[in-house]
Amino acid sequence: MKLPVDPADHIRRNMPLIALPSCPHVRIHAANAGSGLSRLLGDDAAAPYWAFAWAGGLALARYVSDHPECVAGLRVLDFGAGSGLVGIAAAKAGAYAVTAAETDPMGAVAITLNAAANEVRINRVARDMTGGPVPEVDVILAGDVFYDAALARTVTGFFDRCAAQGIRILVGDPGRVHLPLARLTECARYPVADFGESAGAAGSVACVHMFA
């Protein structure tokens, strides 16, 4: 289906690059009230995950920036990448290679633009990885992927297979109901702004967990 506007051009013109208070050395194209996303996506489209910074991703990006040793020199998968925020933070922290897995084609456009704005290289994967082979990476970073019960079961099963192969998995989340807490060990917590809060509000607390 032909889109009414060019996605990359629309994002550049209507979603300004912002520096994130919790991770100010990373900038992303973020939507605001004047971004006209309905012109790009249609009036009935759900809020696109790639157009906003979410609490779990913000916390995970901050953790990677504070602890670059967890990704430096390693192959990293930003799982459910959205805007690519977490993967960009990993690349800036010295990751050897970063892959961003995001099934939304608009998200893929945003990841490309955001990576370019931050002068880092991100490889994109546009398919659902949960039913495929275990990825050839050392670390998986997953922000805000436990917001739905069915998705949480699928992701937990995928992470089980990855952990069994020795892949380290870090999860960022503000404590959503489907988070598998019995499988997680908290590493850090940060005050951040979640979706729907202003960028500098820091009205939520999100934790970074190790999955095992």
Tens-digit pLDDT profile for residues 134-158: 999 999 999 999 999 999 999 999 9
If phi > 0 it is left, if psi is from -120 to 50 it is alpha, else beta; for residue 4 that is: alpha
Return the pLDDT at 199: 47
The phi, psi pair for 172, rounded to 5°, reads -110, 130
Q: Partners of 77 in the beta sheet? A: 99, 140
Summarised one tens digit per residue, pLDDT across range 22-60 is 899 999 999 887 887 777 776 555 557 899 899 999 999
Q: Are strands 75-79 and 97-101 parallel, antiparallel or unpaired?
A: parallel
Please report where in the chains the tokens 């970063």 appear, as a residue: 98
Return the pLDDT at 48: 79
Per-residue confidence band for 6, with pLDDT thresholds at 50, 70 and 90: confident
Instruction: Report the top-level CATH class of 7-211.
Output: alpha beta
pTM of the complete model beyond 0.85: yes
Return the pLDDT at 110: 94
Q: What is the mean pLDDT of the chain?
A: 90
User: Pick from 22, 133, 138, 4: which is nearest to 71 by CA?
Assistant: 138
Per-residue confidence band for 3, with pLDDT thresholds at 50, 70 and 90: low
